[in-house]
Chains A and B, each alone.
Chain A
């Protein structure tokens, strides 16, 4: 069974630029999550989708972050414009039940 796929794996941008991350969950998983993991901290939930609807986006900085999950499968997370403090690993996870399966993450560096 293929795992959660994410791309790109690494991205370096300058502040005020925009960036987008892509996630392909495990086939059949209805729930998809995006987490932000800043160096030295645990992952923090940004947004949770159930199929193509948003369940929880209470911790998503909506002035600069946006996410969508068209057709209830793939998802993209966008940052526009990026700030220095957005430097982090962005993790995508999916689940069918209680266990969440994580992708390898995208490491974003904002200079």
Chain B
């Protein structure tokens, strides 16, 4: 079956530090890959996505590249801010456009200290 593994949290960084949150997946076929973010007290929001190998998704300074050879979709940001503190979820969908239900990782809690 499909599965997503992401690094355990919490991850604590200082403001302006470089961020990497690792995500690897197992899936049949060619999945679409997503990063969702959940800010304190809010619902899940799509942060970025990539639908085929070597695609790079980007949004709000975050980026992730779909690496088929390593089955990975690591999230990166060059300089984090306190407002980036949230829980980040890596997810996949095996339908062509991602319209099927998502398989999520366990989430990584990110804490940015001023």
Contact = CB atoms under 8 A, between A and B. Distances in A.
Chain B interface mostly: loop
Contacts, number: 56
B67 interface: no
Contacts of A105: 43
Contact of B102 (A4, A55, A100, A104): A100
Nearest to B4: A42
B24 to A, nearest CB: 14
B44 A98 contact: no
A43 B44 CA distance: 10
A102 B89 CA distance: 13
Given A91-B44, A104-B42, A104-B43, A99 B104 contact: no
A52 to B, nearest CB: 17
B106 interface: yes
B43 A97 contact: no
14 contacts: A33-B101, A42-B104, A43-B89, A44-B104, A45-B102, A91-B44, A98-B32, A98-B97, A98-B99, A100-B102, A102-B43, A102-B44, A102-B45, A104-B42
Interface of B: 4, 32, 36, 42-46, 49, 51, 89, 91, 93, 97-107
